């Protein structure tokens, strides 16, 4: 097999030699140079899949230039070397698509660990992330998808995983934010340490503060004994803060403090505690909007948003639908001890046409419901909810019989309107004269109740 080519750009001779020797011994085809100018010529000629470059170089072309230009030319995996204290440049490099950065002085093992992951990344890029490549990445996390969007996203997540940078995952409800957060954790160096998740939207300020930071006995009514918080529980590990867009200003200030100072004070205590926690935050809100209208602190937004992973809605990655359907049929065959067959083409077509306002969660529920409803092994049209079957013509017309329970009527109306607006919730909210929040809330609720109903049957 041909050896993988790697280019080392480093103006300090000692480091250049150590790196060259180590990587040659590791079985790579190594070229090394001290100059950015020469590096750029070599890159144009050979298109090295792997590049290691110092951020600062003595000549006119810096490591950042090489990173930016090489990324534009093709898609190499680039590892940056920084000196101590260059963290801002390192973050900038990550934004430009660096695979990762390491700080001098470094251990040979740090390099090799990164190199193996870069080779995997290149394999995935060159395979155009075929399902097999993705599988490798997401084996434990159970993430399905091979659309371009999903592949880019997984690459991004993999790149982000091994930095300790705070990550903000945004996307509509049901798009897989929690799933990707777990995948990031499982591919990070904090794997094996604690992964703690908290939903910030469901707790009052007092409870949220106590849950995150802990409290001392008597700090509020009901605090009958000392309690450690999640920052302490997740020490050395990862804290997943879900629905982070819903936290109040006062808690925002406290979280900002942890991110800035890496320390916090438990509720009712006077003692400061250290926090060694990687934060992954998620929200289905447009946080930047919340920043603009003053609901969310701008400084906290930028602290959280060091790396932003945007989960696309399912309607923007429809090629993944067949894979997801298979995945869920398999999942529920196991769970329900059934032998339901792969979906027929005409049913698949209906599911491909629909816009999935509730995203993957809704698809999952529709499959589970259909499997529960179908007596044999074949899912047919009548096992699908009426709201997803295309009506006659463009405008679906609904008849809601008098006496239909309000909840059902509401659901039918909202779902049909969403179909009309091709899943655009803002537009649907406007047409129906209700708040966007209400639609989002309902869609999420149905995602869950559909599943429960199906289970109960």
Site for ligand ATP, rule CB under 6 A = 142-145, 171, 173-179, 284, 324, 327, 360-361, 364, 444
- 351: tokens are 């599911």
> Cβ of residue 420: shortest distance to ligand ATP, in angstroms?
23
For 245, the token pair is 């867009």
Nearer to ligand ATP among residue 20 and residue 173 (C-beta): 173
Residue 224 to residues 130, 205, 206, 215, 261, Cα–Cα distance (Å): 54, 18, 14, 10, 29
Compute the least distance from the CB of residue 8 to ligand ATP, in Å: 36
User: Distances from the Cα of 399 to the Cαs of 361, 387, 389, 391, in angstroms?
Assistant: 27, 12, 15, 12
- In degrees and rounded to multiples of 5, residue 415 shows phi and psi of -65, -40
Which stretches within 238-386 are classed as H helix? 249-261, 287-292, 298-304, 321-336, 345-353, 359-373
Pick from ligand ATP, Mg ion, none: which does 36 bind, CB < 5 to 8 A by kind? Answer: none
Shortest distance (Å) from residue 385 CB to ligand ATP: 17
The CB-of-421 to ligand ATP minimum distance in angstroms stands at 20
H helices, E strands: number in the chain: 19, 14
**Nearer Cβ to Mg ion, position 178 or 316?**
178
Residue 129 binding: pick among ligand ATP, Mg ion, none (C-beta 5-8 Å cut-off by kind): none
Alpha-carbon gap, residue 349 to 317, rounded angstroms: 15
Q: What residues between 127 and 186 interact with Mg ion by CB under 5 A?
A: 177-178
Least gap, CB of 405 to Mg ion (angstroms): 28
Q: How far is CA 325 from the centre of its chain?
A: 21
Q: What is the largest CA-CA distance in the chain?
A: 83
- Quick note: the x/- pattern for Mg ion over 257-276, rule CB under 5 A, is --------------------
- Interaction partner, residue 364 (ligand ATP, Mg ion, none; CB < 5-8 Å by kind): ligand ATP
- Measured in residues, the chain has a length of 457
Residue 175, binding choice from Mg ion, ligand ATP, none, Cβ under 5 to 8 Å by partner class: ligand ATP
Please say which residue, 117 or 177, places its beta carbon nearer to ligand ATP: 177
Nearer to Mg ion by C-beta: 177 or 411?
A: 177
Minimum Å gap between C-beta 456 and ligand ATP is 18
| CB of 79 closer than 8 Å to CB of 116 | no
Which entry of Mg ion, ligand ATP, none binds 173, CB below 5 to 8 A by partner kind? ligand ATP
List of residues contacting Mg ion (CB under 5 A):
177-178
């Amino acid at each position: 097999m041909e050896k993988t080519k790697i280019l080392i750009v480093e103006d300090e001779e000692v480091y250049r030699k150590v790196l060259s020797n180590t990587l040659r011994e590791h079985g790579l085809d190594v070229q090394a140079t001290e100059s950015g100018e020469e590096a750029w010529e070599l890159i144009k000629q050979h298109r090295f899949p792997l590049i290691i470059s110092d951020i600062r170089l003595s000549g006119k072309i810096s490591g950042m230039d090489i990173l930016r230009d090489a990324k534009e030319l093709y898609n190499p995996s680039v590892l940056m070397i920084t000196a101590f204290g260059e963290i801002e440049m390192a973050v900038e490099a990550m934004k430009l698509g660096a695979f990762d950065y390491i700080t001098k002085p470094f251990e040979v093992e740090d390099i090799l660990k990164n190199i193996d992951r870069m080779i995997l990344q290149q394999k995935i890029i060159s395979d155009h992330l075929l399902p097999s490549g993705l599988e490798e990445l997401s084996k434990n996390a159970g993430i399905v998808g091979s659309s371009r969007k999903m592949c880019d996203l997984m690459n991004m997540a993999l790149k982000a995983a091994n930095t300790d940078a705070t990550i903000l995952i945004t996307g509509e409800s049901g798009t897989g934010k929690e799933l990707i957060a777990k995948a990031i954790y499982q591919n990070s160096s904090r794997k094996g340490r604690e992964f703690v998740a908290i939903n910030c939207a469901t707790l009052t300020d007092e409870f949220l503060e106590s849950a995150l930071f802990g409290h001392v006995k008597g700090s509020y009514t009901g605090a009958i004994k000392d309690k450690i918080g999640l920052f302490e529980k997740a020490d050395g590990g990862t804290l997943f803060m879900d629905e982070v867009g819903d936290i109040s200003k006062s808690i925002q200030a406290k979280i900002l403090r942890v991110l800035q100072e890496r320390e916090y004070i438990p509720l009712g205590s006077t003692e400061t505690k250290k926090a060694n926690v990687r934060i992954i935050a998620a929200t289905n809100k447009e946080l930047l909007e919340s920043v603009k209208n003053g609901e969310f602190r701008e400084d906290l937004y930028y602290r959280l948003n060091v790396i932003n992973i945007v989960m696309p809605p399912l309607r923007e990655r429809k090629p993944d639908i067949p894979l997801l359907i298979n995945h869920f049929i398999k999942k529920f065959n196991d769970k329900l001890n059934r032998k339901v067959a792969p979906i027929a083409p005409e049913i698949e077509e209906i599911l491909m046409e629909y816009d999935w306002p509730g995203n993957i969660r809704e698809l999952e529920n529709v499959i589970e419901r259909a499997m529960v409803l179908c007596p044999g092994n074949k899912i047919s049209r009548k096992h699908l909810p009426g709201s997803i079957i295309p009506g006659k013509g463009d405008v679906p017309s609904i008849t809601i019989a008098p006496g239909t329970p309000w909840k059902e009527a509401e659901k039918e109306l909202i779902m049909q309107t969403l179909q009309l607006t091709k899943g655009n919730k803002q537009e649907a909210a406007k047409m129906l004269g209700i708040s966007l929040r209400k639609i989002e809330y309902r869609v999420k609720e149905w995602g869950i109740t559909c599943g429960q109903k199906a289970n109960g049957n």
